[in-house]
Structure 1
Amino acid sequence: MTTAASRHSDRRVSPVFLGIAAVMAVTAWAVWTGFSASPGLAVFLFVTSAWIVSLCLHEYAHARTALHGGDITIGAKGYLTLNPLKYTHALLSIVLPVVFVVLGGIGLPGGAVFIERDRIRGRWKHSLVSAAGPLTNVLFAVVCTAPFWLDALDGVPYGFRFALAFLALLQVTAAILNFLPVPGLDGYGVVEPWLSHRIRRQIEPFAPFGLLAVFVVLFIPEVNQAFFEAIDTVLRGLGIHEAETYCGQDLYRFWQEQNPDCEELLSR
Structure 2
Amino acid sequence: MGHQGSRGERQISSVFLGIAAVMAVTGWAVWTGYAASPGLAVFLFVTSAWVVSLCLHEYAHARTALHGGDITVGAKGYLTLNPLKYTHAMLSIVLPVVFVILGGLGLPGGAVYIERDRIRGRWNHSLVSAAGPLTNVLFAAVCTAPFWLDALDGVPFTFRFALAFLALLQVSAAILNFLPVPGLDGYGVIEPWLSHRARRELAPLAPFALIGVFALLWIPEVNAFFFGAVDGILRGLGVSELETYCGHDLYRFWQDPNGLCTVDGAQ
Per the TM superposition, whether the score is higher than 0.5 is yes
Corresponding position of 2:41: 42
Could you tell me how far apart the structure 2 residues matched to 1:41 and 1:251 are? 8
3-state SS of paired residue (1:75): coil
TM superposition shift of 1:210: 2.2
TM superposition shift of 1:258: 1.5
Could you tell me how far apart the structure 1 residues matched to 2:21 and 2:118 are? 36
For the 8 Å contact 1:141–1:168, the answer to whether it is kept is: yes
1:88 aligns with 2:87: yes
TM superposition shift of 1:259: 2.3
Q: Structure 1 length as normaliser, TM-score? A: 0.98
Could you tell me how far apart the structure 1 residues matched to 2:68 and 2:92 are? 22
For the 8 Å contact 1:158–1:266, the answer to whether it is kept is: no
Could you tell me how far apart the structure 1 residues matched to 2:252 and 2:69 are? 43
TM superposition shift of 1:254: 0.6
Q: Structure 2 length as normaliser, TM-score? A: 0.98
1:267 aligns with 2:265: yes
Could you tell me how far apart the structure 2 residues matched to 1:79 and 1:90 are? 12
3-state SS of paired residue (1:107): coil
TM superposition shift of 1:113: 0.1
Could you tell me how far apart the structure 2 residues matched to 1:251 and 1:154 are? 21
Could you tell me how far apart the structure 2 residues matched to 1:266 and 1:10 are? 47
User: For the structure 1 residues 266 and 151, does the alpha-carbon distance in structure 2 shift closer, same or farther, using more than 3 Å as the test?
Assistant: farther
Could you tell me how far apart the structure 2 residues matched to 1:267 and 1:119 are? 58
Aligned residue pair count: 266
TM superposition shift of 1:211: 1.8
Corresponding position of 1:180: 179
Point out the more displaced range, 134-143 or 219-228: 219-228
Q: Which AA in structure 2 matches 1:239?
A: G
Corresponding position of 1:214: 213
Aligned residues: CA RMSD: 0.7
Corresponding position of 1:8: 7
Corresponding position of 1:105: 104
Corresponding position of 1:25: 24
TM superposition shift of 1:266: 4.0
3-state SS of paired residue (1:261): coil
Could you tell me how far apart the structure 1 residues matched to 2:73 and 2:88 are? 15
Stretches of 4+ moved more than 4 A in 1? none
Corresponding position of 1:145: 144
Structure 2 unaligned runs (5+)? Answer: none
Could you tell me how far apart the structure 1 residues matched to 2:64 and 2:88 are? 19
Q: Which AA in structure 2 matches 1:31?
A: V
Corresponding position of 1:55: 54
Correspondences of 1:110-259 after superposition (within 5 Å) = 110-259=109-258
- After superposition, the C-alpha distances for 1:139-190 in whole angstroms (9 at most, x for unaligned) are 0000000000000000000000000000000000000000000000000000
Give aligned-pair identity as a percent.
Answer: 79
1:67 aligns with 2:66: yes
3-state SS of paired residue (2:154): coil
Structure 1 unaligned runs (5+)? Answer: none
Could you tell me how far apart the structure 2 residues matched to 1:157 and 1:26 are? 16
